[in-house]
Amino acid sequence: MTSHDIREKFINFFKERGHVQIPSSSLIPSGDVTTLFTGSGMQPLIKYLLGEKHSGGQRLTNSQKSFRAEDIDEVGDNRHTTFFEMLGNWSLGDYFKQEQLRWFFEFLTNEVKLDPNKLYVTVFDGDEENNIPRDTESVSIWQELFKGVEIEAKVVELVTEARGGEVGMRGGRIFYYNAKKNWWSRAGIPAKMPAHEPGGPDSEVFYEFTSVEHNPSFGVHCHPNCDCGRFMEIGNSVFMEYIKNEDGTFSKLAQQNVDFGGGLERITAASQDDPDIFNTDILKPLIDAIRKEAKTSNIHSERIVADHVRASIFLISDGVIPSNKERGYLLRRLIRRAVTHGQYLIGLPQGFLSTTIDTLIASYADVYPELVTNKNLIKEVFTKEQSAFEKTYHNGIKTFENIARDNHTISGEDAFALLATHGFPIELTEELAKHAGKTVDRIKFQEEIERHKEISKAGQEKKFGGHGLILDTGELKASTPEEVQKVTRLHTATHLMQQALRDVLGNSVHQMGSDITPERTRFDFSFDRKVTQEEIKKVENRVNEIVNKDLPMQHKEMKKEEAEKTGALFFFGEKYPETVKVYFAGNTLEDAYSKEFCGGPHVTHTGEVGKFKILKEEASSAGVRRLRATVE
């Protein structure tokens, strides 16, 4: 079956069972500051899992675009990708384990027609420390389901992966594992979850590729969670019914939810009984095109190129632009890494990657029409980044080879020069170094980055005779004393505005960027819809209220971890030094109105800010709003 067939069958299967299909959300999460990208279908649904009513009702289904940056180094084997589609169905306090496990089993065996003899399942063993019981109910349900297809399902307690490697399958069909494998929350295991985070035990289904022999370098024996490739996880039913409390204990949520996610490409691979997801309908033509043009064959690099080009077009389509920060930096890394693997390691011609975009978009046109709408933008952004890097890349590789020939360790200075002069992201230099059997001095590299930031700031101060004012961005924003004063007032106003936005619109508001000139402050923040006039008025009033209170604006210097604990806001993804300043408006840090990691400068009392006014509200990019405001 093709991925198109499976996507369609899945959605229809759940629609027939009373589910409403919801569209895929953007890869840029709106209202979720815990991750940079949407990495699973449940992320956009958090508030509904916590009890808010969804307009689609209590049963939902979709195929969600997902991107997991943390998997970038795994790409190259036969089953990991950074971008993937996750098939999902959800019960928002409606059905629970019984229906969920039966439906998924029916879908796999009746619709996808997988041989049930090749299916193995895992369940949660419990967590004594947190008083969460083992999931015996799911075990009974699975036993019944397998019995229905005449399979005697023996239960094996592996609990830890290490034990799995020691004892192996032992004729089992259902396996107990601990929280590391069978508990799901956005933050991972119960101990890692912050307060107010929901999570729950899960039950995963694995498909066995009998053509793959167990590789003992992964453990003496094979077991479902072994990484040798014989077993592949194809779906995960999370029974989301817990929430972590402030004191670290767990309580039951008011409703019992199901959060199911299954990798579309993986289920497709299982339907073909071929463990290589790059042999499925969407990725195969891309791999073939790469092979046709490449001078050398290297399956690892071919897969990296294919994955990274596909991920890039989806990211660009959702509004990510290559840059040196956060999401933009990830996109830049993907494109530059694809160019390097493509040209350096397998000898693809210059400019080749962007020629695959049309075919890729065509194969997704019916499912993700936004790719078609944004086609020109995608091609333009991708090609621009590709060509820019191609220009400097050859000399960069030469420089790299020269350094690597004579040194075992690439120094911080050299790694910095490769970045500054040739545009090599540090991760790329590290990868090339690893490939050549060398290492990179990452600590010195970081020091170089800091040192150069200082130098460029100092340079600008000199140029403007020492009157200038430089904000965190390192750019000169004001050069006369009047301008300095105005920018400083606007800077404090921006802090108050961020807190006021969170008061009025909720804590999904998170800074995405800011820019202050003597005329105005411009502030970008995550929010998934237009802000109403009424809300704008509320924000303005709130800021002016704090201005009128004339609270002292102070700062404290402290260790980063300590500063994080104070609840001070910070710019997600920004690398902060070990010691940071927290600026706060209030008499004490504890009860301050606003707290933020910041380098200053600020007014000494909020009263100096003056009358605050919002000038304009507009969209900045998908899921990001932009406000302009000034002070009188």
Binding residues vs ligand SER (CB under 6 A):
40-42, 88, 184, 236, 238, 259-261
Alpha helices in 320-441 (DSSP H): 326-339, 357-364, 369-373, 375-406, 412-422, 426-435
Smallest distance from ligand SER to CB 536, Å: 35
The Cα 418–Cα 340 span in angstroms is 14
- Residue with the two structure tokens 């995960």: 236
66 versus 317: smaller Cβ distance to ligand SER: 66
Rounded Cα distance between 190 and 196, Å, is 12
Cβ 411 to ligand SER, closest distance in Å?
40
CB of 319 to ligand SER, least distance (A): 23
The CB-based long-range contact list for 404-408 (8 Å cut-off, 24+ gap) reads 404/432, 404/433, 404/436, 404/438, 407/438, 408/438, 408/439
Q: How far is CA 558 from CA 20, 485, 581, in A?
A: 50, 27, 6
Report angle CA 99, 44, 54 to the nearest 5 degrees: 60
CB of 238 or CB of 305, closer to ligand SER: 238
CB 361 within 8 A of CB 372: yes
- Strand partners for 555: 583
CB of 234 to ligand SER, least distance (A): 11
Beta carbon nearer to ligand SER, 88 or 342: 88
Beta carbon nearer to ligand SER, 84 or 527: 84
Cβ proximity to ligand SER: between 46 and 419 the closer is 46
CB of 111 to ligand SER, least distance (A): 19
Q: Residue 73 and residue 614: Cα distance in Å, rounded?
A: 44
Distance in Å, CB of 556 to ligand SER, minimum: 38
Q: Which is nearer to ligand SER, 89 or 280 (CB)?
A: 89
| Strand bridging mode 174-177 / 119-124 | parallel
Dihedral angle sign, alpha carbons of residues 283, 285, 286, 292: positive
Q: 283-293 vs 299-317: helix axis angle to the nearest 10?
A: 120
Closest separation in Å from C-beta 423 to ligand SER: 34
Given the complex with ligand SER, which of 186 and 332 has the nearer CB atom?
186
Residues 6+ apart with CB under 8 A from 591: none
Beta bridge partners of 266: none
Which of 100/499 has CB closer to ligand SER? 100
- To ligand SER, the closest distance from the beta carbon of 260 in angstroms equals 6
Query: For ligand SER, which residue has the nearest CB?
Result: 261
* C-beta of 75 vs 339, nearer to ligand SER: 75
Alpha-carbon distance 280 to 1, whole Å? Answer: 9
| 257 vs 511, beta carbon nearer ligand SER | 257
Please report how close the Cβ of residue 255 comes to ligand SER at its closest, in angstroms. 17
Q: How far is it, in rounded angstroms, from Cα 226 to Cα 246?
A: 35
The rounded distance, in Å, linking the Cα atoms of 193 and 169 is 31
Instruction: Compute φ and ψ for 95, nearest 5 degrees.
Output: -75, 170
Measured from the Cβ of residue 288, the count of other Cβ atoms closer than 10 Å reads 12
CB of 240 to ligand SER, least distance (A): 8
Residue with Cβ nearer ligand SER (262 or 322)? 262
Q: Contact, 488 vs 477, CB < 8 A?
A: no
- The structure tokens listed for 382 are 């991708």
Least distance (Å) from ligand SER to the CB of residue 208?
Answer: 20
